[in-house]
Structure 1
Amino acid sequence: MPGGNGVAPQLSDGAGTDQTPDGGWRRVHPASPFVRGWVALAAMGFFFGRDTFERLLQGAPLVDERLAGRAPWLLLGGGAVLLLTVLGYILSWYFTRYQVAQGYVRVNTGFLFKQQRQARLDRVQAIDVVQPLLARIFGLAELRFEVADAGESAVRLAYLRMEEARQLRATILARAAGVAPDPERPGAAAAEAPEQAVLTVPPSRLAGSLVLSEQSVGVVLGAVASVVLSAVTENRGFYLYLIPAALGLVAAYWSMFSKGYNFTAAVSPDGIRLRYGLLDTRAQTLPPGRIQALRVSQPPLWRIFGWYRMQVNVAGYGAAGNSGEGSARTTLLPVGTVADVLSMLSLVLPDPGTPDPVRVFTAGLTGLADRTRAARRDADAGFITTPRRARLLAPLGWRRNGFTATDTALLIRSGRWWRHLVVVPHQRTQSIALEQGPLARRFRVVDLVLHTTAGPVSPRLVQAGLDEGRALFEAQSVRARAARKLQRSEHWLAQARPAPKQQEGPQHG
């Protein structure tokens, strides 16, 4: 397969020395700097050509008579700026090289101020293949490598041919998984691991979820308030506040629809594969072992169709996963049914640690404790909720807020109207804290907080009984220590497992 410089990619085995020329260093595609910097070229064209274009449309002379004497100098100056810009792009491409060898992926950039970035293959948390619209036109793609707690992409390769990017990703995933190369062909690229489709989100469902989202509720309430205030005060100016709100809502809807369009999930030996995007497309590979916490949410209006959203904390994404582009990267399922949620849960948590996972997780999604303490745990799949004595602190949510623990994970549910279920594998619990304010002491309840890597999920058990909270604190500490001792290697792959059927929940063992 030809690469960006017309040479098939050759990679070292991670232990020896690369036998390719120049130590295995290769350059990205020659069009890369132009794909990255097209905005600057467009801005220059607009600045220098705007007046000329307007005169051409008006039928006037192309050059103003007052500037006719200086036209050659203006053209010379513009040409020099353009030449320097193109030369800078060429030098940027020439001095940008990458290498995968001795267990590292390295990227060198810069011709005046040089920089080398590298990431250990066994510490790579996730690899994304990103295609902005212009890169898609040229058949190029960017590889982004996430490493532990980097907060942003530690290493970026922009741009490679799409096929080369996919093959390089497959090779790096194989090296990160500890798969030894063929001794007879130590420099050969690894084959891409097979995958099995799990689910696809229809565009109609995605559009419907946006219409029934929290933002829509806010805009409707704002519109009603504007109408009422305009009628009461006879001031039509309140309607003007709806214009920026409507424009912002349309922009937000388009952004979310474009990012979530054609969302598909598949399972492969090297992790969970997610693909999505309308104009800019992205292909993510998430190893389940790198997912630190998971949250399933359901806004009130989504109950009409039984829809849910799933988000995750991934080691390496850091706080960047809380907003903007990062929110799409930490979305495991933008909108799906209960069957979709259980299918994705089975990928993240192959061993749910309970003989009846569908009942337990369904209770976490939709369960509500009995009003009396009698038979509460049996009727609610083992969830322990806020004691009745504290119902004044959460009159609507005290029967909903609760927790249960399986052999492999802690489940925390909350919210009567906005439902949430947080799942934290025991081995991913980094630390635990008990918090109690003045009112909580009066009603003998306590909050328990679990600390994981940064991200959109903040595991917190609210208003647990004091005795139950203390018992959970001790038990979860023991579970976390035991689970970390039994944790497998940091390598992504151990052995391939088949994807579960969509209608089934997580399977035991």
Structure 2
Amino acid sequence: MPASQGVPLIPDTTGTWHRVHPVSPLVRGWIALAAIAYFFGRDWFEAVFRGDEFWGLSGGRALWTVLIVAVVVLLLVAGFFLSWWYTRYQVTDDHVRVNSGVLFRQHRQARLDRVQAIDVIQPLLARIFGLAELKFEVADAGESAVRLAYLPLASAQELRATILARAAGLTSEPGHAQEPVPEAPEQQILAVPGSRIVGAALLSGTTVFLAIMLIAAGVSTFVFDAAFGPALLVPAAFGVAAGYWSTFSTGYNFRAAVSPDGIRLRYGLLETRAQTVPPGRVQAVEIMQSPLWRFKGWYRMRVNVAGYGVSTENSGARTTLLPVGTRQEVMQMLALVLPDPGTDDPFAVFTAGLDGIAATDQNDGGASDGGFVTSPRRVRWLSWLTWRRNGFAVTGTALLARSGRLWRSLAVVPHERTQSIALHQGPLGRRLRVADLRLHTTTGPVTPVVYQIDADTARRLFDEQAARAAAARRRSLPERWLEARPESTPEPSSGPEPEAAAGRPDGQYGPQQNGPPTEQESRHGGQH
């Protein structure tokens, strides 16, 4: 079982396993070495600083001290060696397999056609040794994502290319089966400058929190003559520093590119990460704008990706499609995740979703600016600030749900990614004849909800979106997105086509006097 250097990274049908880089246990377990060095070195350092003799080297204890340190180092080396020896991986035409563990053995296996995203991760120490970790997510993997650490950076990139090629359905040509798969070409779409990341951090909620703490400390000190006011700033300072550092370190050097493999995102200051999301794996997109960002015209984009699950490890950075960008950059990123917007004027529709507000003399609950259907006027007493923002629009390929007046939000869900739909109506909603419609996708930070629309409109949207989702899934790309699809006759549609819904005249979704619907829920299709 040779080490990963020089190993042909090709699908292996002979049952051969390969090992990771020999330095991998050190990169993973350096914290243990640091703890031992601190434990044994703290007293020695203090003794030297005070000019005293170190107790471990006096009174005949020097030999025992050396023996204890030697035994601990030998145990660590043995543990590192066994960890490396029992960590192996294999790539076949259909699976990626990783075996690890010494006392508690683990065998991880991922189907290539279920790979949802691949990350190439380089912590600071791994970058020093020129190593990288591969982390590939499968459908609903969550904490069970398959990790392979660590490989030389070039080998990790080649292995990523091999896995993505097999996941796409590509096969080697006759006579070239032993050749490694080359890295797919890419075209850079945008790069976020560092100055904008700094500005976004300064205009974030962290600054608002800092201002509130300063005001609270000032009031408690000068008004109530309390001595604990300045003490409040000490923990606040640590929290503010951590918030600023998290925003800057994860958004630094952010770049987005597109390739046949999918969307490629690169970012990070100390720990760099290169994400690859294959085509069709993005389940939902959310575009947000905070009040302070509105002065600069900046937005943030988050996504739900199948397989990311609810893991908290870098969840904010991994699910961020654009940390901070202009409207033009938002449109560019939307074009990557939704190549066909399903409308003749996408800029007007998405602009209305980002910044649009219905006029006060709008049709009651009918279509308004950009084709968005908003809440009826009768709900203004319940949501006096947001009733003209809350609404939805339907295109030929996606449903758009906008909400929020101060913190604006626009959720975009492709029709084929709608996994289930639910209508919710509380006591006040029944009284005002309005309902919320929730679209369920895979687990993630995006929760698409159409808030407080007319109850009859919500009921029709419920039925029509279910039909659109079923029809769109029949036309969606296969799991192996570059694999040739066999010719087949189209299936008859069981409901209205998305194009028909997209072309409805204004007011078509207006209210009808049929009474409020009861709460209901419908599940459609499987996971994608």
The normalised TM-score by structure 2 is: 0.88
How many angstroms apart in 1 are the aligned matches of 2:106 and 2:226?
A: 60
- Give the equivalent residue in structure 2 for 1:8: 7
How many angstroms apart in 1 are the aligned matches of 2:102 and 2:127?
A: 28
How many angstroms apart in 2 are the aligned matches of 1:63 and 1:221?
A: 51
For residues 357-396 of structure 1, the aligned pairs below 5 Å read 357-374=346-363, 380-396=369-385
- Give the equivalent residue in structure 2 for 1:499: none
- Which region of structure 1 is more displaced relative to structure 2, 449-458 or 216-225? 216-225
**Are the aligned partners of 2:4 and 2:151 in contact in 1 as well (CA < 8 Å)?**
no
How many angstroms apart in 2 are the aligned matches of 1:106 and 1:146?
A: 13
Cα offset for 1:68? 2.4
How many angstroms apart in 1 are the aligned matches of 2:368 and 2:423?
A: 27
- Give the equivalent residue in structure 2 for 1:24: 16
- Give the equivalent residue in structure 1 for 2:444: 455
Task: Summarize deviations over 1:168-192 as a string: whole Å, max 9, x none.
Answer: 1001100000011122121321010
How many angstroms apart in 2 are the aligned matches of 1:6 and 1:263?
A: 29
How many angstroms apart in 1 are the aligned matches of 2:54 and 2:233?
A: 44
Cα offset for 1:245? 1.3
For residues 83-482 of structure 1, the aligned pairs below 5 Å read 83-320=74-311, 323=312, 325-374=314-363, 380-482=369-471
**Are the aligned partners of 2:4 and 2:155 in contact in 1 as well (CA < 8 Å)?**
no
Greater relative contact order (CA < 8 Å, ≥ 6 in sequence): 1
After superposition, the Cα gap between the structure-2 partners of 1:64 and 1:195, relative to the gap in structure 1 and judged at 3 Å, is: closer
**Which amino acid in the other structure matches residue 299 of structure 2?**
Y
How many angstroms apart in 2 are the aligned matches of 1:142 and 1:478?
A: 42
**Are the aligned partners of 2:5 and 2:152 in contact in 1 as well (CA < 8 Å)?**
no
After superposition, the Cα gap between the structure-2 partners of 1:143 and 1:153, relative to the gap in structure 1 and judged at 3 Å, is: farther
**Are the aligned partners of 2:368 and 2:374 in contact in 1 as well (CA < 8 Å)?**
no
Cα offset for 1:304? 0.4
**Which amino acid in the other structure matches residue 27 of structure 1?**
R
**Are the aligned partners of 2:10 and 2:181 in contact in 1 as well (CA < 8 Å)?**
no
How many angstroms apart in 2 are the aligned matches of 1:282 and 1:241?
A: 36
1:45 aligns with 2:37: yes
How many angstroms apart in 2 are the aligned matches of 1:466 and 1:379?
A: 18
Secondary structure of the corresponding residue to residue 242 of structure 1: helix
- Which region of structure 1 is more displaced relative to structure 2, 457-466 or 222-231? 222-231
**Are the aligned partners of 1:11 and 1:24 in contact in 2 as well (CA < 8 Å)?**
no
Secondary structure of the corresponding residue to residue 158 of structure 1: strand
Secondary structure of the corresponding residue to residue 319 of structure 1: coil
**Which amino acid in the other structure matches residue 76 of structure 1?**
L
Task: Summarize deviations over 1:372-416 as a string: whole Å, max 9, x none.
Answer: 134986650100000011111111111110000001000000001
Aligned Cα root-mean-square deviation (Å): 1.9
After superposition, the Cα gap between the structure-2 partners of 1:463 and 1:169, relative to the gap in structure 1 and judged at 3 Å, is: same
**Which amino acid in the other structure matches residue 293 of structure 1?**
A
**Are the aligned partners of 1:403 and 1:412 in contact in 2 as well (CA < 8 Å)?**
yes
How many angstroms apart in 1 are the aligned matches of 2:323 and 2:419?
A: 27
How many angstroms apart in 1 are the aligned matches of 2:407 and 2:225?
A: 36
Secondary structure of the corresponding residue to residue 73 of structure 2: helix
How many angstroms apart in 2 are the aligned matches of 1:388 and 1:378?
A: 13
Cα offset for 1:258? 0.6
Task: Summarize deviations over 1:474-496 as a string: whole Å, max 9, x none.
Answer: 1111111111111220124469x
Cα offset for 1:25? 0.7
After superposition, the Cα gap between the structure-2 partners of 1:10 and 1:224, relative to the gap in structure 1 and judged at 3 Å, is: closer
How many angstroms apart in 1 are the aligned matches of 2:301 and 2:482?
A: 24
**Are the aligned partners of 2:435 and 2:451 in contact in 1 as well (CA < 8 Å)?**
yes
The normalised TM-score by structure 1 is: 0.91
- Which region of structure 1 is more displaced relative to structure 2, 140-149 or 180-189? 180-189
How many angstroms apart in 2 are the aligned matches of 1:407 and 1:5?
A: 47
The count of aligned residue pairs is: 484
How many angstroms apart in 2 are the aligned matches of 1:351 and 1:380?
A: 21
- Structure 2 residues without counterparts, runs of 5 or longer: 485-501, 503-528
Cα offset for 1:221? 2.3
